[in-house]
Every structure is written in C-alpha cells, then in structure tokens.
Amino acid sequence: MICRQGREVRVLQSNGWYIGTTDEDGPYCRVSGQYWPSREAAQDALGKGKFSQRDCVENNFCNGGNGCFDSI
C-alpha cells in the first residue's frame, strides 16, 4: 500500500505496533488511528485494510488535508 505522498505504508513500532510510513530519516507519519498489541495483528489489519486513518494536523499537512489514501 502506498500513501498519497508515494511512501510505502508498513507496520512500525513505538508504544505498540502501528501503521505508518518512513523516510530516509526514520518514521515519517503515523497513519493508523490505533495501536495493536502485536506485529502480527497490525500486519493483519494492514493486509486487510481494516484500520482507521488517524486524523491529525501532521497528516493533514503532509497529505494536503485529504487523508492518507483515496480509500481503504
């Protein structure tokens, strides 16, 4: 899955497992509105597209106020 900015969406970890993107400097954007207790659970949600998009100022700025995807 690729976000509007052309970054690969993947499972990342910080205070739990979440769905987000990275750039050359590290984590870039937390896409998911929730955390999961395991990598497997987060990967399953990503694979099925079963997660809510995080609504925040940072995501709106990086994606022009349109969310991270056309639809999930």
pLDDT digits (tens, 9 = 90+) for 25-68: 888 888 888 999 999 999 999 999 888 887 655 555 555 555 56
Task: Please report whether residue 49 resides in a domain.
Answer: yes
Task: Please report whether residue 70 resides in a domain.
Answer: no
Task: Please report whether residue 60 resides in a domain.
Answer: no
Task: Please report whether residue 24 resides in a domain.
Answer: yes
42 — phi, psi (to 5°)? -65, -40
CA-CA distance, 24 to 49, in Å (whole number)?
25
Task: Please report whether residue 20 resides in a domain.
Answer: yes
Distances in whole angstroms, Cα of residue 24 to Cα of each of 11, 27, 28: 16, 9, 9
Task: Please report whether residue 34 resides in a domain.
Answer: yes
pLDDT of residue 46: 93
Q: Which domain holds residue 29?
A: 10-54
Count of domains in the chain?
1
